[in-house]
Structure 1
Amino acid sequence: MLRQRVITAVLMMAVFLPCLFASSPVPFGVLTLVMISAAGWEWARLNGLPTMVPAVASGLVLALACAITGRDLPRIGESHMLWWPGVAAWVVGGALVLRGGPAAWPKWPMPLRWLLGLSLLWLAWTALAQARVIGINFLLSVLCVVWAADIAAYFGGRAFGRRKLAPSISPGKSWEGVYAGIAGVLLLALLWMAGEAQWNLGSPSLFLLLQQRLGWPGLIVAAVLLAGLSVVGDLFESLVKRAAGAKDSSQLLPGHGGVLDRIDALLPVLPAALALISL
């Protein structure tokens, strides 16, 4: 299993990085549209669409909506009124859904669950595209917030985990892992800003913008919020999978599960990052 995970991860990076650093935004846009379409297909399947055709159509409709948004991104992507409602939906809605647990999720009307998931995926893709417009360094710093929080939480939880965070949703997660994830994000911010002081990385990072606009206390609070939201995104997808009786969102990525399994924590973090730098 580990070998398969490593091979898949290397192949994903071999595709993702050239598209990200391409001089034209087209390769990155096409790749992310394919990914978000796959995520929409997975979401539809997890939430009970009766046949394969509606699930595939869900992915295609989502990709089309994102492509249309991308054509008008300069106006839509810079709208602060888009990001803050998204953050509020994740904070308030996430708390309500997680509090209800896996048993309560299927009681929501299926069309509402379907629409909610596609809306959150659309918002995340729009934020991803806007982050790419701001700069590659900015986008990578946002992505690394989630990766650093996840890695630090994993090792911190294994070493010190005692108190379960949400045993009915994800039994392996602990409060100690959450604290380790926050520490990992704070350390990442310091190291990234130290690197920016030495080298020109083309665009300011998320951390530098937060420090310039909010000061060091604001940067710390924002880092804690982003790390916390990454946990919410992860738990939300785990809850949906548990309610559907599925271990993974799909088997599109051997050893890793599905696209949703890889991007779940990014769904709230991407719009939250853009909301925070608007302050």
Structure 2
Amino acid sequence: MLKTRVITAIVLLAVFLPVTLFAPVAAFGALIGLVVLFAAWEWARLLKAGTAGSIVYAAVAAVAVAASTRLESTHSLYQAAGIFWLVAGPYVLVRKPTLAAGVWRAFLLAAGLVIFSACWHALVAARTVGVAFVLSLLLLVWLADIGAYFAGKAFGKHKLAPAISPGKTWEGAVGGWAAVMVVSVAALALHAFEPTLYSALAARLGLVRALFVLTVLVAFSVIGDLFESMTKRQAGVKDSSGLLPGHGGVLDRIDALLPVLPLAMLLLG
């Protein structure tokens, strides 16, 4: 399993790093569009849309992303996705409705078109600002995840959401937040690789409010992760798919990004 994970990670880095660092924004957008296409397919599968239905849904999502490029402003798109995560995200995690049936399935399939379109636009907009900016946005989620893993392993005692994801702890969540705070403050103090998400927030809001916003973004990265974990648990699967051997599916890799991306861009808009 470890060998498979490493090989997959190397292949992904070999594809994504050169495109992110050196390719034109259009090429980066095309690659992210492919990611969104597969993520939409997995979203529909978790909601039990069926084999044909999931393929059709992925095609519809691709059309929705393409159509959204004609919008004069993406603010409303970020706003709609942000409202979903601010309202529906916590509600679902607390009340735990059956997501793959009835009104909830129809709602989540419709919401997914907005969520994935907002995700695509946010990443492309971030890449337009600069490579350092888009990497700093991704780094926030990666740091929160890595910090949570190691802090949870070392200190985890109190379960965060035992009915949804038994492995996650409050200590891990705090460790992930601490990792983000340390790196953010260091980046701001050193003025490293600016403009970054951290420098942009500090310039717009001031240091204290910028750190508060980063705290909120870390919290929603956890919500995105737990939301996908709940859909998988209800669907009776361990991974969103087997597209990435050793890593699961595309959604397994971007679940925490889905709420963070539109919320971050909305706050900077």
Q: Same fold (TM over 0.5)?
A: yes
How many residues align structurally?
A: 268
Which residue is 1:134 aligned to?
129
Counterpart secondary structure, 2:168: strand
Q: 1:187 aligns with which of 173, 182, 186?
A: 182
Contact kept? 2:29, 2:120, Cα under 8 Å: no
User: Contact 2:39 / 2:250 at 8 angstroms: preserved in 1?
Assistant: yes
Please name the residue that 2:49 is paired with.
49
User: Which residue does 1:91 correspond to in 2?
Assistant: 86
Q: Which residues in structure 2 correspond to 1:189-228 (within 5 Å)? A: 189-197=184-192, 201=193, 204-228=195-219
Distance 1:120 1:242 in 2: 21
**SS in structure 1 of the partner of residue 237 of structure 2:** coil
Partner of 2:98: 104
1:154 is matched with: 149
Displacement of 1:67 after TM fit?
2.4
SS of the counterpart of 1:238?
helix
Per the TM alignment, residue 23 of structure 1 is displaced from its structure 2 partner at its CA by 4.3
User: TM-score, normalised on structure 2?
Assistant: 0.94
Give the counterpart letter for 1:168 in structure 2. Answer: A
SS class of match (1:104): coil
Amino acid paired to 1:248: D
Q: How large is the Cα RMSD of the aligned pairs?
A: 1.7
Q: Indicate if the aligned counterparts of 2:21 and 2:131 stay in contact, CA closer than 8 A.
A: yes
Corresponding position of 1:125: 120
Q: Do the aligned partners of 1:250 and 1:258 also contact (CA within 8 Å) in 2?
A: yes
CA contact (8 A) 1:33 1:67 kept: no
> Which AA in structure 2 matches 1:19?
V
Distance apart, 1:194 and its partner CA: 4.2
The aligned counterpart of 1:4 is 4
Please give the alpha-carbon distance, in whole angstroms, between the structure 1 residues aligned to 2:6 and 2:188.
Answer: 29
8 Å contact from structure 2 (residues 220, 260) kept in 1: yes
Paired residue type of 2:243: L
One-letter code aligned to 1:57: V
Share of identical aligned residues, percent? 44
**Structure 1 counterpart SS, 2:253:** helix
Partner secondary structure for residue 166 of structure 2: strand
Structure 1 segments unaligned to the other structure (5+ residues): none
Provide closer, same or farther for how the CA distance between residues 116 and 82 of structure 1 changes in structure 2, counting only shifts above 3 A: closer
TM-score (norm 1): 0.90
One-letter code aligned to 2:110: L
Aligned equivalent of 2:57: 58
| 1:109-143, Cα deviation, whole Å (9 max, x unpaired) | 23222212232122211211211122221111000
Whole-Å separation in 2 of the counterparts to 1:271 and 1:106: 24
Secondary structure of 2:99 counterpart: helix
Provide the C-alpha distance between the structure 2 equivalents of 1:45 and 1:84, rounded to a whole number of angstroms.
Answer: 26
